[in-house]
Amino acid sequence: MTIKASEIKVGDTYSEEVCKNLSRTQIVQYAGASGDYNPLHSDEIFTTQIAKYPSVFAHGMLSMGMTGKMLTNYVGDGRLTKFGVRFTSQVFPGATLTATATVAAIREEGGEHFADIEVSTKDEAGTEVIKGNAIARLDP
């Protein structure tokens, strides 16, 4: 799927549930694939007794990766020119996350069309866990 500049308008939104009841095993999968084996993400003894957090929690980059899935499903494969986020809250096992893209601007630059997109991912309680923005190259 790709989107066309002529078919979208400022304020358009696209949302996806990017994870449901996040499992500890998925966090381990991400550790294995990314190579970030920080015990804070999989080792409950270390995380609660030594680091003093209430529980293991997801890598920020797992939440960003899941948010990126929503974006590429919306704008198409290979269309992002920028994608940046702030991690605004920790994501614990059991979280259900919904990622939303909102079109903030549509512009033409050097004969190419781009959309500026605001990105927000929230958990089931409505707490924002990711806040960011992206730029996607559009068809005319």
Residues interacting with other proteins, by CB under 8 A? 2, 18-19, 26, 29-30, 32-39, 43, 45-46, 49-54, 59-62, 64-66, 68-69, 71-73, 76-78, 80-87, 89-90, 127
Q: In the complex with other proteins, which residue's Cβ is closer, 9 or 125? A: 125
Residue 126: exposed, middle, or buried by beta-carbon count in 10 A (0-12, 13-18, 19+)? exposed
Cβ closest to other proteins, residue 11 vs residue 83: 83
The answer to whether the beta carbons of residues 126 and 95 sit under 8 Å apart is no
CB of 108 to other proteins, least distance (A): 19
Residue whose token pair is 């923005």: 133
Smallest distance, other proteins to C-beta of residue 119, A: 11
Let me know: does 138 contact 106? Beta carbons within 8 Å. yes
**Quick one: 13 or 34, whose CB is closer to other proteins?**
34
End-to-end CA distance of the chain: 14
**Beta carbon of residue 122, minimum distance to other proteins (angstroms, whole number):** 14
Strands 97-109 and 80-87: unpaired
